[in-house]
Structure 1
Amino acid sequence: MSRFRRTSRRSAVLASLSCVLALLVAGCTGGSPAPESTGRQESSEHTPSPESEGLPDVVPRPSQLVDTGGDVRVSGKVSLVVDPAVVPATRDLAVRVLRAAGAEEVVVRDPGRRVEDSTLRVRLGSRWAPAMMKAYQNTELEFPSEDEEALAPESYALSIRRGQNPEIVLGGVDPAGTYYAVQTLRQLATPGRVAGVAVLDEPEMSTRGVIEGFYGSPWTHAERMDQIAFYGAVKLNSYVYAPKNDPYHRDRWRDPYPAERLRRLRDLQEEAAENHVKLTFALSPGKSICFSDPADWNALTDKLDSLYDIGVRSFSIPFDDIDYTEWNCSSDRAEYGAPSAAAAGEAQARLLNRLRREFLARHHGTMPLQTVPTEYSDTEDSPYKSALRERLDPEIELMWTGPGVIPESITVDDAASAERVWGRKTILWDNYPVNDYDATEGRLMLGPYAERQPGLGEVLEGLVINPMNQAAASKVVEISAADFAWNSSEFDEQRAWRAAAEYLAGDRFRGDEQRLTPDSETVDALMVFFDLNHAAVLPDGEPWLRPAPELRRRLDEFRKAWSGDAANRKRAVAELRGYAQSIADAPERIRKGTPEDFVADVRPWLRATDLWGDALLATLDGLSARASGDSEAASENFRRAGELADRAGSVRTEPGETRPQGPVRLADGVLDAFIRQAPDMR
């Protein structure tokens, strides 16, 4: 996070952003700013929300987004001017975005060369290129003092302006920022045009990502490759490889990776680099390591060396989920004394400090070492925490799961307390939407990223979420978490939740040859399905996200109306029937309108939704018959609803795909309860 906080410069940025970006255009092209079209919105001291002002929706939400006076058409020949420092993958992405937006031809050229007959000029480069820097300095922006950074790493600016010479200018403070500028352009594109806006954007958290740290069936190689590409698209910059069921990560940590597994890890590293994602390789030796044994030290460093040789530059040594009340060898007792929490903390700290000093410092380009402590949750001090706080090198990054292993909420005060107890800002390892513990049997976690307090970015080093066994389905929460980690101060969980449905219904983060706008009927079907799977539970089974809130609201309204007269009852049945039909229709719409990997992940839940939707319709038929005085028809429909509900309850998760396996749970305690109680509603 930049030391020059966004809050200290917000008014200056807002007051002069339009001027900055107009001058940025001039600086990039060497000419005068393009004429402003009429109706251009003036900047103000307060950023209007995109929704309230009709501005386009971008995920993650940018720090600043303002109107520049109208959309820019994309057609015919487009000239793309690319600075030499721009990496080929970012250049190629820009070409694909422009073609998807309507360009018949994209001519890529170096600065200084002209392309005749182009309908649109696009400049892609570094904000600190000389021409851009000159334009930036000629603005009224309030810069920080010389010993502070102006913008955080990965920040970017873009301007899309129409006029006599329509032009798009994109620049980043570093290669990642330039890449993110193009990713934002992709979201601003619709067929034939791009939205006329200006953006100045920076992340709140420096580490934003996903840790594959769950138990059960690990993700496949194809799923990991897809996930990493997706992370780049939504501005997540970190992937931690730590699958508990990879034997070479944990149980057989000393053993070298077989050649084929190592090749796949190299593929992941290369994919990560192309998408500006840091791949952190985690090695978990805590179950069996002898801290004082030179052979184990050599095995550890040899293993890390093999990963360094294929390009990995970020490493983690986690000590989570181990027993630290016993030593694994007698020499550790001689070295550290009788086993205890404090002795374990000292042994772990000494090992990690030595790795930082003797391995990372001697390997060029490595990033700060990460760890997960054995006491990884809560903020209560202890002898173990005290040992790490006092002995662990301050350069080593530490992950913390919040006030609980599965926290129902996380506040700014919680994170500040964690900073005090650990003696450093922590990276939040958030165990949501992970579904690998007993209470999650049969559940998908498709709710929004919720109960995390805005402003956490000010007191955390970063955020990584632990996803579900289902990789593609995990994107629902990953999109929300990406939005939160980038700009938690302005996070809107409902907006981010719907953005996940729009992604699945339109794949708009992918761009290139695919549709740029989501299919609205598929979005609606997904929101119905998400609501049925709006659930998150504590280890004891108590929900911390209320199940199916929208369906619950509609059923509560129905019950109130049913207590009225006959006219109210008929109207209530008719109103609820529309939503019941939406439930029944949602699975087929989702099967046809969303990516195959998502459909494969949620197939059992779609099958259950088919049956539950039909059961709810049959229940309403029964209530309608009862309201009309036809008791025989009512009984028959209630019987049919019960049979459908029984069949829905017998649908099970796919063997080997989910841990723990069991019957599919969906709108648990809401839909099943209503269908069970309906025959008694008189």
Structure 2
Amino acid sequence: MIPELGLIEGRFGRIWDEAERGYVVRTLADAGYGFYHYGPKADRPLRREWRVAHTPAHSEALARLGAEVRGAGMRFGIAITPVGSTHPFDDEARADLKRRVADLDAIGIDDLCVLFDDLRGDMPELAARQADVVNFCADLTHASRVYTCPTYYSDDPVLDLVFEQRPQDYLGEIGRRLDPAVQVYWTGEEVCAKAIEPAHLERVAGELGRPVCLWDNWPVNDGARMSRFLHLRAFTGRSADAAQHITGHAINPAIQAHLGCIPALTLPMLYDQRERYAYGAAFAAASRALLGEEFAAMLQQDIAALQDVGQERLGARAERLRARYRAIDHPAAREILRWLDGDDLMTDDEVQTQ
């Protein structure tokens, strides 16, 4: 059993251009992915400046993306993070939400995502107010599916450290108050989960009163620490038996559009092959399919340096890697060169301001 697979473009960092995103759409659609949710943190009219509409040019670009996604056989969704709409959830907030949901509907969406991830949690009646906002938007939108992501989207105690201690019974209350049709994104036991097991998902579903849609933070590599590494390896620590406990499995992509499709292609293999799945063989098959035999073999040789050592510790190896990948005329090779040159490395300030 393969659950509905998708991509939630919900990372920090550089926004892909249309060519990069188009490549990802085509590649994932061909691999059997079923939905694409657009919501990069750097798209300010969807987050920090959500009350302000996209420019006409940007709205047209998103409409083209939606048409491309649907043309490839996937559902298209847009994610909005309505910062400050819950406290107070007053007439002004309702008017702004009504206008912005109409804007997104006009672009053309199958799915609407109303997200609260990475927002402060020390607010009174947090679960109740967030559920009110989501239900309000769900009643307005023409989209046939609605998703949300709570502020505490994992058991990970780092969320309590960064966003204040989560309210008691936060997950249970938000589950009871949300419209039963709303799907809830969840990352697992950790923000970047090393493993996602059926027993954990079953427990969370019981607490929330519904199965979750996985927001899998692999191969995402945003932020000041993770952007120093290329996330290339195939999926590990994910059980195919999780399928019976979730509504879908969405991945959060890497900054590097072409390279990130290598691990993306291994997720359907994991579910399809089950106990026959081997992550090394899956990486080899996916990289050969996307890069060709010679490039894939080279990447296999260098994967430890690129994924484990990291950009800042390569030393003299960096120039040798530049020479190797400069000789390859391929967008993925150019992504490696860009990363080696530090062009996609992020800072903490970027994350805090996006």
| TM-score category, normalised to shorter length | 0.7 to 0.9
Q: Give the Cα–Cα distance (whole angstroms) in 1 for the partners of residues 168 and 284 of structure 2.
A: 42
**Given the alignment of the two structures, is residue 600 of structure 1 paired with residue 325 of structure 2, yes or no?**
no
Q: CA deviation at 1:489?
A: 5.8
Contact 2:11 2:222 in 1 (8 A): yes
Q: Could you say which residue in structure 1 is the equivalent of 2:236?
A: 450
CA deviation after TM superposition for structure 1 residue 286, in Å: 3.0
Residue aligning to 1:205: 3
| 1:488 Cα deviation after fit | 4.7
Measure how far apart 1:482 and its partner are. Answer: 3.5
1:464 aligns with 2:245: no
Paired residue type of 2:148: T
User: What SS does the corresponding residue of 2:228 show, helix, strand or coil?
Assistant: coil
Spell out the pairing of 1:653-668 with structure 2 (5 A cutoff): 653-654=342-343, 657-660=344-347
Residue equivalent to 1:643: none
Query: Matched residue of 2:115: which SS?
Result: coil
Pairwise CA distance, 1:370: 0.2
Task: Identify which of 347, 350, 360 aligns with 2:132.
Answer: 350
User: 1:367 — aligned with what?
Assistant: 144
CA distance in 2, matches of 1:505, 1:528: 14
| Cα distance in structure 2, aligned partners of 1:410 and 1:310 | 35
**For residues 216-365 of structure 1, what are the structure 2 equivalents within 5 Å?**
216-326=13-123, 339=124, 343-356=125-138, 358-360=139-141, 363=142
Q: Tell me which residue corresponds to 2:188.
A: 402
Quote the offset at 1:383 in angstroms.
2.4
Alignment correspondent of 2:351: none
- In structure 1, the residue matched to 2:163 is none
Relative contact order, higher structure (CA 8 A, sep 6+): 2
1:521 aligns with 2:208: no
Q: 1:266-305 CA distances to partner (integer Å, 9 max, x unpaired)? A: 1100100110121110010034554532222222122122
Between Structure 1 and Structure 2, the one with more helix by share is 2
Question: Equivalent residue for 1:493?
Answer: 279
Contact 1:315 1:369 in 2 (8 A): yes
Q: Name the structure 2 match of 1:530.
A: 303
Q: Which 5+ residue runs of structure 2 have no aligned equivalent? A: 158-166, 311-317, 349-354
Which of 181, 203, 208 pairs up with 1:422?
208
CA 1:254–1:296: 2 relative to 1, 3 Å = same
Which residues of 2 match residues 601-620 of structure 1 at below 5 A? 601-604=335-338
Displacement of 1:350: 1.9
1:673 is aligned to none
Q: Counterparts of 1:643-658 in structure 2 under 5 Å?
A: 652-654=341-343, 657-658=344-345
* SS of residue matched to 1:317: strand
For structure 1, the 5+ residue unaligned runs are: 1-202, 327-338, 507-519, 538-582, 608-651, 662-682
> What amino acid sits opposite 1:452 in the alignment?
R
Mark the CA change 1:504 to 1:413 in structure 2 (over 3 Å): closer, same or farther: same
1:437 corresponds, among 223, 228, 243, to 223
Structure 2 Cα separation of the partners of residues 490 and 459 of structure 1: 21
Q: 1:287 to 1:296 in 2, by over 3 A?
A: closer
1:550 paired residue number: none
Aligned length: 335
Same amino acid, percent of matched pairs: 24
- Report SS of the residue matched to 2:81: coil
After superposition, the C-alpha distances for 1:151-172 in whole angstroms (9 at most, x for unaligned) are xxxxxxxxxxxxxxxxxxxxxx
Greater C-alpha radius of gyration: 1
Q: Residue 352 of structure 1 aligns to a residue in which SS?
A: helix
1:371, 1:468 → 2: CA distance? Answer: 21
Kindly report which structure 2 residues correspond to 1:78-157, keeping only aligned pairs within 5 A, or say none: none
Q: Which amino acid aligns with 1:526?
A: L
Q: After superposition, give the CA deviation of every residue in 1:464-504 in whole Å (9 maximum; x if it has no partner).
A: 11122221121121111233355656533222211222023
Q: Could you list the per-position Cα deviations for residues 10-48 of structure 1 after superposition, in whole angstroms to 9, with x for gaps in the alignment?
A: xxxxxxxxxxxxxxxxxxxxxxxxxxxxxxxxxxxxxxx
TM-score by length of 1: 0.46
- For residues 410-437 of structure 1, give each alpha carbon's deviation from its aligned partner in whole angstroms, at most 9, with x where no partner exists: 1111111121121111111111222223
Deviation per CA, 1:69-101, whole angstroms, max 9, x where unpaired?
xxxxxxxxxxxxxxxxxxxxxxxxxxxxxxxxx
